[in-house]
Amino acid sequence: MITYHQLRTFLMIVRTGSLTKAARELNATQPTVSLQLQALQKLLRTTLLNRDGRGLRLTPAGEKLCRYAEDVVGGLRTLQEDIEVLAGSVAGPLAVGLTFLMNRYVLPPSLFRFREQFPEVNIQLHVEFPEPLFRGLFANTLDVACYLNVRTPAGLTVEPVGFEELLIVASPAHPLARRRRVPPGELSEHPFIAPVQTPLREMMDAKLRTVGVTPRVAAEAMHHDAVKKVVERNVGYAALIRTSVSEELASGRLVARRLDAPPILSEIVVAYRSRGAVSPLVQEFVRFVRADLARDRRESALHSRRRPPRPRV
């Protein structure tokens, strides 16, 4: 019979592309990993991996086994977690993927409180751009991924857990800085600083077009913080989430301007592999983050209402 350890070893070899790296990840020796692979191939009477100039490559039989192995290994882990929940314990490893934006500005307080409430859950954070996170979910190296809602491949379940407002921000020296409200058509005439990452750029373009702005891209930057630096140099304006620019707005390095349009909102989502049984740890993480972000929004709104009015000059 095929064993759990054989399937787990096979998946690790596929993920790392090397027997030596797989052995290191599994805390085993390279000969042990090799023997597990050989035993699996003998049981199935076929070759699962071939070696070419670029390393190990899946055969057609290996590709088919990979799909079944992911479901079996994932299902067994979910079963173990379900049994632990029945015993009153929420425990075990949870591999969480975050975009740089979520990791730096949005989720740190929620992750801290999650760890406090569930100390027996071992969260392993992986910070990347959305597309590598999606690959991690499909490869079973990640359990969940959290990001601003961008185009997501089929095969993943996406659950909204909150939202962020996209602000129109510019340098204090920008012509927009002298305007309290800006018509969307006028904003279309100014240079726009866009993120290089395709999914995020597509999302921002779509959000701006929804309120009547046609972005005229003047420059690109790799990530949110790089976009802010370009905007500070007065190269153009950008659309950035409120949480990420609070410090720059407070210090006066950037200014935010409202459009003559409804607020631009972007969903915060959590994604995980679509399969029959969802891990209890994943369910608990989604529930907790959704509730925690909602609480933060309520507290922020209450703080804003209590803020004393500015004195008239």
Number of domains in the chain: 2
72: confidence class by pLDDT, cuts 50, 70, 90: confident
Residue 201 in any domain: the answer is yes
Find the CATH number of the domain harbouring 256.
3.40.190.290
Q: Are 131 and 199 in contact (CB under 8 A)?
A: yes
The per-residue pLDDT for 93 is 84
* pTM for the whole structure: 0.75
The per-residue pLDDT for 82 is 60
The per-residue pLDDT for 127 is 94
- DSSP letter for each residue of 72-98: HHHHHHHHHHHHHHHTT---EEEEEEE
Q: Can you give the residue range of the structural domain that contains 23?
A: 1-76
| Boundary-marking domain end, from 36, 58, 76 | 76
The pLDDT of 36-58, averaged and rounded, is 86
- DSSP letter for each residue of the chain: ---HHHHHHHHHHHHHSSHHHHHHHHT--HHHHHHHHHHHHHHHTS--EEEETTEEEE-HHHHHHHHHHHHHHHHHHHHHHHHHHHTT---EEEEEEE-HHIIIIISHHHHHHHHHH-TTEEEEEEE--HHHHHHHHHTTS-SEEEEE-----TTEEEEEEEEEEEEEEE-TTSGGGG-SEE-HHHHTTSEEEEESSHHHHHHHHHHHHHTT---EEEEEESSHHHHHHHHHTTS-BEEEEHHHHHHHHHHTSSEEEEESS--EEEEEEEEEE--SS--HHHHHHHHHHHHHHHHHHHHHHHHHHHSPPPPP-
Alpha-carbon gap, residue 34 to 23, rounded angstroms: 9
Give the CA distances from residue 24 to residues 29, 132, 161, in Å, rounded to whole numbers and listed in that order: 7, 22, 36
Residue 263 in any domain: the answer is yes
313: confidence class by pLDDT, cuts 50, 70, 90: very low
| Boundary-marking domain end, from 33, 55, 76 | 76
The pLDDT of 125-130, averaged and rounded, is 93
Residue 285 in any domain: the answer is no
pLDDT digit string (tens) for 134-154?
A: 988 887 788 899 999 999 999
Q: Which residue has the higher pLDDT, 280 or 248?
A: 248
Q: Are 143 and 151 in contact (CB under 8 A)?
A: no
Tokens 């012509």 belong to 175
Residue 135 in any domain: the answer is no
Q: For all residues of the chain together, what is the average pLDDT?
A: 86
Q: Which residue has the higher pLDDT, 15 or 132?
A: 132
Residue 103 in any domain: the answer is no
Q: Tell me the pairing of strands 238-241 and 216-221.
A: unpaired
The per-residue pLDDT for 307 is 55
Assess whether pLDDT exceeds 80 at residue 41: yes
Q: Tell me the pairing of strands 156-170 and 264-273.
A: antiparallel
The per-residue pLDDT for 311 is 45
Alpha-carbon gap, residue 240 to 168, rounded angstroms: 7
Alpha-carbon gap, residue 101 to 133, rounded angstroms: 13
The per-residue pLDDT for 78 is 63
What is the crossing angle of helices 4-16 and 60-86, to 10°? 120
Residue 274 in any domain: the answer is no
Give the CA distances from residue 63 to residues 47, 49, 69, 104, 144, in Å, rounded to whole numbers and listed in that order: 11, 9, 10, 37, 23
Question: What is the phi/psi pair of residue 93, to 5°?
Answer: -80, 145
Assess whether pLDDT exceeds 90 at residue 223: no
The per-residue pLDDT for 166 is 93
Q: Are 161 and 293 in contact (CB under 8 A)?
A: yes
Residue 232 in any domain: the answer is yes
| Boundary-marking domain end, from 24, 52, 76 | 76
Q: Which residue has the higher pLDDT, 207 or 79?
A: 207
Find the CATH number of the domain harbouring 54.
1.10.10.10
Q: Are 211 and 283 in contact (CB under 8 A)?
A: no
The per-residue pLDDT for 308 is 53
pLDDT digit string (tens) for 82-91?
A: 666 555 666 7
Residue 174 in any domain: the answer is yes
Assess whether pLDDT exceeds 90 at residue 286: yes
158: confidence class by pLDDT, cuts 50, 70, 90: very high
